[in-house]
Structure 1
Amino acid sequence: MDLRLHRLRPLILALSLLASAGVPASGRDHDEARRAAEAGEIRPLADVLDLVKGKLPGEVVGVKLEREGGAWTYEFRVLDGKGRLFDIHVDAKSGEVERTKEK
């Protein structure tokens, strides 16, 4: 199995679980995010994951795209090898890690 696919498996599973759990998000939110990507205001998720993968303390188990104070942010939920859970906020345009918070 491709190593990259193996690493993305937890993310794919988490995203499918979030989608099936009815996470509140209106069609308008999705349209706004799509327009932001098309306008170059945000980077695609795959690109941001490539930029930050070495900076994350573990495996990505969830992700959200949010608009905070007018700026787009990817929020990654990361589980480390010791079972600790982190929220990692990443600027969706630059790919820079803005803050990390242990849950």
Structure 2
Amino acid sequence: MKTSRLLAIVIAGGLAGTTLLAALPASADSRLRQQEVRQLRESGKILPMEDILARARKAQPGQVVEVELERDGDRYVYEVKLIDQADKVHELKLDAGNGEVLRRKEK
């Protein structure tokens, strides 16, 4: 299955639990414009980021440090990276349409 990165969102926790979000396009070939992401969300093809983050934290407690929306074949997948209390990095892949955890890896 070919995976292409559509949109990367970097999340950095600050003081008092504040969160900074920055949307970054991936490569020129696989760019997904903000309007396209909005259309996917409004059509129900992908879940809101808030839902994905809640599901990721439930599956693996920790601080979210990076989120990417990718197209994996015919489905959209969120890749979420979290750091746990022991400073281990966990990578979760969640189905963007239903929030199911598809794969998890500790790095």
Query: Comparing 72-81 with 55-64, which one deviates more in the overlay?
Result: 55-64
- 3-state DSSP of counterpart to 2:69: strand
Tell me how far apart the structure 2 counterparts of residues 43 and 25 of structure 1 sit (CA, whole Å).
Answer: 23
The runs of at least 4 consecutive aligned structure 1 residues that moved more than 4 Å come to 25-28
1:62 and 2:66 correspond:
yes
Structure 2 counterpart of 1:99: 103
Q: Which residue is 1:48 aligned to?
A: 52
The CA RMSD measured in Å over matched residues stands at: 2.4
Structure 2 equivalent of residue 24 of structure 1: 26
Aligned partner of 2:5 in structure 1 is: none
Q: In proportion to residue count, which structure has more strand?
A: 2
SS in 2 for 1:87: strand
Structure 2 residue runs of 5 or longer lacking an equivalent are 1-15
Structure 1 pair 23–35 and aligned structure 2 pair: CA distance change class (3 A)? closer
Establish whether residue 71 from structure 1 lines up as the match of residue 82 from structure 2: no
What percentage of residue pairs aligned between the two structures are identical?
37
d(CA) in 2 for partners of 1:102, 1:23: 26
Structure with bigger helix share is 1
Q: Which runs of 5+ in 1 are unaligned?
A: none
Query: Could you list the per-position Cα deviations for residues 32-52 of structure 1 after superposition, in whole angstroms to 9, with x for gaps in the alignment?
Result: 322211211001101222233
Aligned counterpart, 2:94: 90
TM, length-normalised to structure 2 = 0.69
